[in-house]
Amino acid sequence: MRNLIYLIIIFSFACNQPTEKTPTTAYVMVLGVAQDAGYPQMNCKKECCKQAWENPELKRTTSCLAIVDPISKEQWIIDATPNIKEQLQLLKQKTGTEKLDGILLTHAHMGHYTGLMHFGREVMGTDNLPVFAMPRMKTFLEENGPWSQLVEIENISLQQLKSDSTFSLNKRIKIKPFLVPHRDEFSETVGYEILINEKTLLFIPDIDKWGKWDTDITELIKKVDYAFLDATFYKNGELKRDMSEIPHPFVEESMLLFSNLSETDKQKVHFIHFNHTNPLLIENSTAQKEVLKKRFNLAKEGQMIRF
């Protein structure tokens, strides 16, 4: 009998050992890695999405990062995606709660803000949830239904951002939005720098070709500690349509541009925001192997970034 009790004690102790230690200071967690439409993409019957339609484990949600502070038990997300419901469940699995203290928006393309609909009357009916947005993005939400209703009945409370101006989410986490060139039909587009413990994470899910930006991305990578960068398309010709209408930097172009970086700097780069046609979504594809061989990284859902 006594041996059995010892066994139970040893067994329960072993079971309580966390497999991956949760950070004790503020950190960033990846909640989604796909382009706006998610993966697989609606109505896609091509080879790119075939496996993912058949195997739900291969599905990927739209790009989204969470910023978590385990000390104050606060958490924020960057972008409210169409997959916000699943993404907040993933967050809850790691932190024990899906409760949000705010949302930071990048721009008004469908993958980046339409998840806000879940905060209205029909679903959560939140009370003044802070939503951080640039001036045009803020006006877009204030002046167009159904988003205007969220503002009017105070489900959300819009907080206007200023580009290149750093502000504090709390005493451990600082944020700096900055403008990037993109197809700005309804709003401007920003990327974010997240500053925690003197370290910086750069997040640019959507941008036009690097050459169109007045910032030298290669120099910027040297200054930050992590860089989560637009990897919508792997290479030219991936879509049948004229790809100059959607001028994202191809991953092949980015890797060439970053090829002279040191190995340490290359390792900071985490590609994210993959279109359904991007072979980086396919596990062990030649493209994935190429990226890893060149010493760059791929963002993964559930990945925790330590500071």
Q: Are 241 and 209 in contact (CB under 8 A)?
A: no
Distance between CA 241 and CA 233 in Å, rounded?
Answer: 13
Applying the rule CB under 5 A, the residues between 266 and 305 that interact with Zn ion are 276
CB of 81 to Zn ion, least distance (A): 9
Question: Would the CA dihedral through 73, 206, 109, 38 be positive or negative?
Answer: negative
CB of 206 to Zn ion, least distance (A): 4
225 in contact with Zn ion (CB under 5 A): no
3-state secondary structure of 188: coil
48 in contact with Zn ion (CB under 5 A): yes
- Residue from 30, 49, 88, 137 binding Zn ion (CB under 5 A): 49
Segment interacting with Zn ion (CB under 5 A) among 49-57, 75-83, 147-155, 162-170: 49-57
3-state secondary structure of 6: helix
3-state secondary structure of 3: helix
44 in contact with Zn ion (CB under 5 A): yes
CB of 214 to Zn ion, least distance (A): 19
36 in contact with Zn ion (CB under 5 A): yes
248 in contact with Zn ion (CB under 5 A): no
Our CB check for Zn ion shows the closer of 72 and 285 to be 285
124 in contact with Zn ion (CB under 5 A): no
Q: Give the residues across from 203 on adjacent strands.
A: 192, 228
For 151, the enclosing helix (H) or strand (E) is helix 147-152
CB of 212 to Zn ion, least distance (A): 14
- Residue from 79, 188, 193, 206 binding Zn ion (CB under 5 A): 206
Distance between CA 98 and CA 303 in Å, rounded?
Answer: 17
Applying the rule CB under 5 A, the residues between 72 and 111 that interact with Zn ion are 109, 111
- Report the greatest alpha carbon distance in the chain: 74
Given the structure tokens 């919508």, which residue do they identify?
232
**Binding interface with Zn ion (CB under 5 A):** 36, 41, 44, 46, 48-49, 109, 111, 206, 276
